[in-house]
Structure 1
Amino acid sequence: MLCNTYLLEGVMSGRTLPLGQVAHIVGQSTDPRSPRGGDPLGKALRDEADNLMLLCAQQHLEIDAKAALDVFTVEWLRRVKQEHEDRVRHLTALGPERATTVVRMVGSVHGNAVELSRETAAEAVTADRRFPLYLESYTRHGVEIDLRHIPGEQAGAVWNAEAAAEASRHYYRQATAVIDDAVRNRLGPGIERETVQHVSVFGFARLPLLVYLGSRLDDTVPTDIYQRHRHEQSWAWPAESGPATEFAAHRVQAGPDGDEAVVVVNISGVITSHEIPRELSGLPHYEVRPVSAQAGPDILRCRASLRQLEETLRMFFARLEREAKSLRRLHVLPAIPLSAAVALGRAHHPQVHPQLVIYERLAGSYAPTLEVGQVPG
């Protein structure tokens, strides 16, 4: 109960085994050696369900250890038991249509990592009145895409921009292969069998990889994208409060009708015109930015704002499809939150829209590092 360990499966054998132990909150005996046995609870009530907890062996030993009895008091254990039972009642009251398959992608962002455990994701989806569906093929951890073991995440950080970009492209080739494998061999079969009806996405990685992940997710499956909120140190979306932030896409520079264009997505920050690489300066130039609000790292404070941004991006791609039929490659310079990067990838249709060339700030300037989708024929 305390550690949320699954108590019907052996970690080493993988076999179904009853590993839980029944523990008493107030000791079964009034003997001084019985943990918390001096409580005035009547002896006839000590074997009742209200006084029992199901624990793993290690935590059973810990709560009954003499040196820890001042921590694991009767009051503390009763409160934890009540909170756990309330959570179970909440989850079991949800119908099967509230199940969601959790997809977690964990990497480093220029050396910085973040805690994104199975429990963290479960708490966030539970707050949305859903429960995580951990199929057998997911080893009860959902679909985890772990990029932390891939060498080269920080490669080229102190080199010139060209060398840094080449090192990053090598890293991205390995990372996208890991993403492809997880989507194709783990998430995909569940979607085909219709055991996956809803997906919840949590991602902490470099922006181009989050865009790529979004592009690989099946757009026909309802999907919620989660955002890490810095102030609360939480992945749960806050309750909706106030109007959602609106966004718009504008053409800010005309150019010759050709097969390439540039879009700057200024959401969490602002990329100015002089930061756009010189080789792109003559191309048609678009910008996506907030309406009646300043770009900033906390602009996506509610889920509705993210939905507004995703809808704006879909409308932008539809506009290009109508008005720029010769466009084949779209150079994307993103200043966006992590959740928005996933939304950008989901809004892009690889068979219809121009190929996205995702840029990243490396060694003080923006360089192309990852291509999403194929160049249309």
Structure 2
Amino acid sequence: MTKEVTRHINPTVERVLWAKAGGRCQFKGCNRLLYHSAVTLEAVNISEKAHIYSFSEDGPRGWSDILRRKPDQLNNIDNLMLMCHDCHKTIDQDKDGSKYSADLLRGWKTEHELRIKIVTGIDPKNKTHVVFYGANIGDQKSPLQKDETYQAIFPHRYPAEENPIMLSMSSSHKDKDEPYWGTEQQHLQRIFQQRIEHRIEENSPAHFTVFALAPMPLLIQLGALFTDKISVDVRQPIREPKTWEWQAEPELFHFIVTEPTTNHKNPVLIMSLTAKIDHSRVTAIMGEDIDIWEIATEAADQHNDFIRAANQLSLFRQEMRKLIGKISSHAGNSTPLHVFPAMPVSCSIEMGRIRMPKADMPWVIYDQNNTAGKFITSLVIQEQ
């Protein structure tokens, strides 16, 4: 019976296989592009057509009852997977099919082809420029993984470019070092101008998705550079489960705003979102003649993982716009606002985005310096 069927695969079947696989290896976890060399980047076909049920009846995965009756179906699209040489060799070395069974491979094929169908079905208007910004936080580095972040934007968005736009700077300084803040702020402003502004001008309307891990003052500065005039999705690194994908929105979540009872015209804004900032830590720096405004979360929500859904960020922006407006009316637009933050990555960026460059007062941003054991002035954001 095997002599009645050749290994020749109909060109139409091969084209459909390539289309359904998206030109990638269908072995789960590989996903390798099969139309160019990863080394030379030259256009080359490195694909192989792997049989789910083996071409030979006594091969690694044998034949099903249907194939014994109709062996001419061996080369049908339902029995083929597109694979790279290494993965094809891997499944065929499993001689008894115990590790890579036909049922397992069929499941991988279905899963891969469904993903390709969903991704290629995204509206072309929904492309986004993925932006990475990382900076040293204390003694920790801030790695950002392309695969994790790109997965988080599907199926609502797709990346406009193969690789993210990198705004990070490789610096030997840490946030406890005196030169750190000025160097990082200048770098961020310069590289934003180089890598972001022309994309805004060339792609109207442009959309960006921001993934960042950096100290709060620099994240506020990043948000201030984008402003809320540009369409930006700001993502939050969620720790449990570890992901950048949005989770279910918490019930009854809200922010608590406290206004000052004094009128010294020296405004201070305390951001007690991930932790409660004791006012004595602020008066130790600023003195007693200050007007303290505060935005906080409930005590049970004061942790790094309380932002779980995009709607929470929307609520934060609404509250912050109202709050900054009240502070400006109270103290005047020329009076500096001193900001003491304890808040998540996403809120830090969104706080910067709601800033109105020509209308809002200068912001003096502070940061907790563990070496000094107190808040220190990190950077100032004002109209340039």
- Give the TM-score normalised by the residue count of structure 1: 0.82
- What's the offset of the Cα at 1:90? 1.7
Aligned counterparts of 1:45 and 1:277: Cα–Cα separation in 2:
80
Helix, strand or coil at the partner of 2:243: coil
Equivalent of 2:61 in 16, 30, 36? 36
Matches within 5 A, 1:269-284: 269-276=275-282, 278-281=284-287, 282-284=289-291
Identity rate, percent: 23
The corresponding residue for 1:296 is 303
CA 1:217/1:240 → structure 2, altered by over 3 Å: closer, same or farther?
A: same
Contact map agreement 2:366 2:375 (CA 8 A) in 1:
yes
Aligned counterparts of 1:178 and 1:56: Cα–Cα separation in 2:
42
Matches within 5 A, 1:199-348: 199-240=208-249, 242-243=251-252, 245-252=253-260, 254-257=262-265, 260-276=266-282, 278-281=284-287, 282-290=289-297, 294-348=301-355
Aligned counterparts of 1:231 and 1:329: Cα–Cα separation in 2:
38
The corresponding residue for 1:132 is 158
Aligned counterparts of 1:40 and 1:97: Cα–Cα separation in 2:
47
- What amino acid maps onto 1:219 in structure 2? D
The corresponding residue for 2:199 is 190
- What's the offset of the Cα at 1:40? 5.4
CA 1:326/1:141 → structure 2, altered by over 3 Å: closer, same or farther?
A: closer
- Give the TM-score normalised by the residue count of structure 2: 0.80
Q: Which runs of 5+ in 2 are unaligned?
A: 1-25
Equivalent of 1:175 in 184, 187, 201? 184
Helix, strand or coil at the partner of 1:232: coil
Aligned counterparts of 2:216 and 2:250: Cα–Cα separation in 1:
27
The corresponding residue for 2:148 is 120
Aligned counterparts of 2:66 and 2:368: Cα–Cα separation in 1:
65
1:208-256 Cα distance to aligned partner (Å, 9 max, x none):
221121111153222221112221111111134534x222433235242
Contact map agreement 1:265 1:336 (CA 8 A) in 2:
yes
- What amino acid maps onto 1:247 in structure 2? F
- What amino acid maps onto 1:76 in structure 2? L
Matches within 5 A, 1:129-168: 129-135=155-161, 140-147=162-169, 149-153=170-174, 164=176, 167=177
Based on CA coordinates, which of the two structures has the bigger radius of gyration? 2
Contact map agreement 2:227 2:356 (CA 8 A) in 1:
no
- 1:4 equivalent in alignment to 2:31: yes
- What's the offset of the Cα at 1:39? 5.6
Aligned counterparts of 1:249 and 1:121: Cα–Cα separation in 2:
33
- The range that moved more, 99-108 or 75-84, is 99-108
RMSD over aligned Cα atoms: 2.9
Q: Which runs of 5+ in 1 are unaligned?
A: 155-163
